[in-house]
């Protein structure tokens, strides 16, 4: 088993601030390949697990690795408060880490279901008792599948661009791998207008990733099974298949996944699920608007009872009343808003079929709100 250890500061320091006052103790970074029955998963561990605290566990999308998917988010200044309270474990699928060698010809790439089961080996290896999962695209699907099969090990899920539907494509791509990945990650408008971002990610995909390995991971994702979740109905079957943990669904309104994320939200429990639809945002919200994603993440964690209201003071003081997020109640009994988006609330015909009510709540009012929301709500973001 390969293992490397390094250190990084858990707080980015502005040159104008005294580093002696602002710098925190460096966090130990452990990188190692964890052996599972479906292949080795490259894991990057930061921080020390705590007995009664979950670990934030991330999983990237196709064509990405932990750096290109999450580094800008976790290196953001606003994320340091979370980093101080939670250890983080980034997981990379087999052969998806930087400079990975081509997987052996005899190796059969694991399915999405198998990758989700492989996570149990990671938790056992590091001794994690529970996790808060943060996944994007394929990673969101894998974490959701893991939560469905192992509800006792998952306290909460933040799922960006989750697509719970089955999808079967031919084994070979009509276009180059990088073109297929770009079309999966970004919407048409974003591809046509945000040339710098697209060029950056195309460069990362083609220069840091093993194209053969990416193709295998992408093919596995495109042959996934449906999650087959069902929205619980009051007075109905109490044993329906659904996520038992709190879930925050995030998608940009210009993302190619926006429709499937909204549809996924309609299939989940409205009392434990929140949908954050971000206006003026593309396929990678955690890269495009990391500060807003972090705000939502902080309130999500606070609603689970892991961050005190005192630790949220800095966030509230920097937020104007024109920005809004959800209200989250206490641990395990919290109720969640159903859809959040910036600006005015938009009504859609298909939303009437889902029987969703809409409420506008300002960010300033959230600090004093600690009440349950009995109905699904849409809140300006």
The domain limits of the chain are 29-304
Residue 375 has pLDDT above 90, yes or no: no
pLDDT band at 329 (very low <50, low <70, confident <90, very high): very low
pLDDT at 52: 81
Q: For residue 134, report the phi and psi dihedrals to the nearest 5 degrees.
A: -130, 110
pLDDT at 318: 40
Higher pLDDT, 53 or 309: 53
pLDDT at 370: 32
Query: Whole-angstrom Cα distance, residue 28 to residue 299?
Result: 26
* Average pLDDT for 93-114: 96
List the single range of 14-18, 251-255, 314-318 with lowest mean pLDDT. Answer: 14-18
Query: Rounded to the nearest 5 degrees, what angle is found at the Cα of 127, between the Cα atoms of 125 and 133?
Result: 90
Q: Long-range contacts of range 3-10, CB-CB < 8 Å, 24 or more positions apart?
A: 3/30, 3/31, 3/32, 4/30, 4/31, 4/32, 5/29, 5/30, 5/31, 6/31, 8/46, 10/47, 10/80, 10/83, 10/84
pLDDT at 238: 66
pLDDT band at 7 (very low <50, low <70, confident <90, very high): very low
pLDDT band at 359 (very low <50, low <70, confident <90, very high): very low
pLDDT at 236: 65
DSSP alpha helix (H) spans, 28-111:
66, 72-74, 80-85
* Average pLDDT for 49-76: 94
Classify domain 29-304 by CATH number.
Answer: 3.40.50.1820
Closest CA to 223 of 296, 173, 148: 173
Query: Whole-angstrom Cα distance, residue 133 to residue 88?
Result: 10
pLDDT band at 167 (very low <50, low <70, confident <90, very high): confident
Query: Whole-angstrom Cα distance, residue 148 to residue 154?
Result: 9
pLDDT band at 170 (very low <50, low <70, confident <90, very high): low
Q: What is the mean pLDDT of the chain?
A: 78
pLDDT band at 1 (very low <50, low <70, confident <90, very high): low
pLDDT at 221: 96
Query: Rounded to the nearest 5 degrees, what angle is found at the Cα of 124, between the Cα atoms of 81 and 215?
Result: 80
pLDDT band at 230 (very low <50, low <70, confident <90, very high): confident
* Average pLDDT for 58-72: 97
pLDDT at 312: 54
Q: For residue 69, report the phi and psi dihedrals to the nearest 5 degrees.
A: -95, -40
Residue 79 has pLDDT above 90, yes or no: yes
pLDDT at 354: 34
pLDDT band at 317 (very low <50, low <70, confident <90, very high): very low
pLDDT at 234: 74
Residue 215 has pLDDT above 80, yes or no: yes
**What torsion do the CA atoms of 151, 299, 160, 90 make, to the nearest 10 degrees?**
-70
Percent of the chain predicted with pLDDT > 90: 62
Number of separate helices (H) and strands (E) present in the chain: 16, 11
Residue 17 has pLDDT above 50, yes or no: no
Residue 358 has pLDDT above 70, yes or no: no
List the single range of 25-34, 45-54, 118-127, 306-315 with lowest mean pLDDT. Answer: 306-315
Tokens of 379: 């809140």
Query: Whole-angstrom Cα distance, residue 105 to residue 115?
Result: 19
Residue 333 has pLDDT above 80, yes or no: no
Q: For residue 358, report the phi and psi dihedrals to the nearest 5 degrees.
A: -130, 130
Sheet of 246-252: strands edge to edge?
A: 3-8, 27-36, 39-46, 88-92, 55-59, 131-136, 154-160, 246-252, 273-278, 339-341, 378-380
* Average pLDDT for 5-15: 42
Query: Whole-angstrom Cα distance, residue 8 to residue 67?
Result: 14
pLDDT band at 174 (very low <50, low <70, confident <90, very high): low
């Amino acid at each position: 088993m390969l293992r490397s250890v390094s250190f990084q500061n858990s707080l980015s320091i502005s040159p104008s601030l005294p580093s002696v006052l602002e710098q925190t103790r460096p966090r130990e970074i452990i990188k190692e390949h964890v052996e599972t029955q479906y292949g080795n998963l490259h894991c990057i561990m930061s921080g020390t697990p705590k007995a009664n605290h979950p670990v934030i566990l991330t999983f990237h999308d196709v064509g990405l690795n932990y750096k290109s998917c999450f580094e800008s988010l976790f290196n953001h200044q606003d994320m340091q408060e979370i980093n101080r309270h939670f250890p983080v474990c980034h997981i990379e699928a087999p052969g998806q880490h930087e400079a990975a060698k081509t997987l052996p010809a005899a190796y059969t790439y694991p399915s999405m279901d198998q990758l989700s089961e492989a996570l149990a080996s990671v938790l056992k290896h590091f001794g994690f008792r529970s996790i808060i999962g943060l996944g994007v695209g394929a990673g969101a699907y894998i974490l959701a599948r893991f939560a469905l099969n192992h509800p006792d090990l998952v306290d909460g899920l933040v799922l960006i661009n989750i697509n719970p539907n089955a999808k079967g494509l031919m084994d070979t791509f009509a276009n180059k791998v990088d073109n297929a990945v770009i079309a999966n990650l970004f919407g048409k408008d974003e591809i046509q207008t945000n040339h710098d971002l697209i060029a950056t990610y195309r460069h990362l995909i083609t220069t840091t990733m093993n194209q053969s390995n990416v193709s295998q991971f992408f093919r596995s994702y495109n042959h996934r099974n449906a999650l087959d979740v069902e929205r619980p109905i009051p007075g109905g079957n109490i044993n329906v298949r659904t996520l038992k943990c709190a879930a925050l669904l995030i998608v940009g309104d210009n993302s190619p996944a926006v429709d499937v994320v909204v549809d996924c939200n309609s299939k989940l429990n409205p009392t434990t699920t929140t949908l954050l639809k971000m206006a003026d945002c593309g396929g990678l919200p955690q890269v495009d608007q990391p500060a807003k994603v972090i705000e939502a993440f902080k309130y999500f964690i606070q609603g689970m009872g892991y961050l005190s209201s005192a630790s949220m003071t800095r966030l509230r003081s920097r937020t104007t009343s024109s920005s809004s997020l959800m209200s989250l109640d206490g641990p395990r009994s919290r109720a969640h808003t159903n859809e959040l988006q910036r600006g005015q609330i938009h009504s859609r015909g298909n939303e009437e079929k889902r029987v969703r009510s809409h409420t506008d709540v300002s960010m300033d009012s959230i600090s004093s709100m600690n009440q349950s929301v009995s109905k699904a709500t849409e809140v300006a973001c």
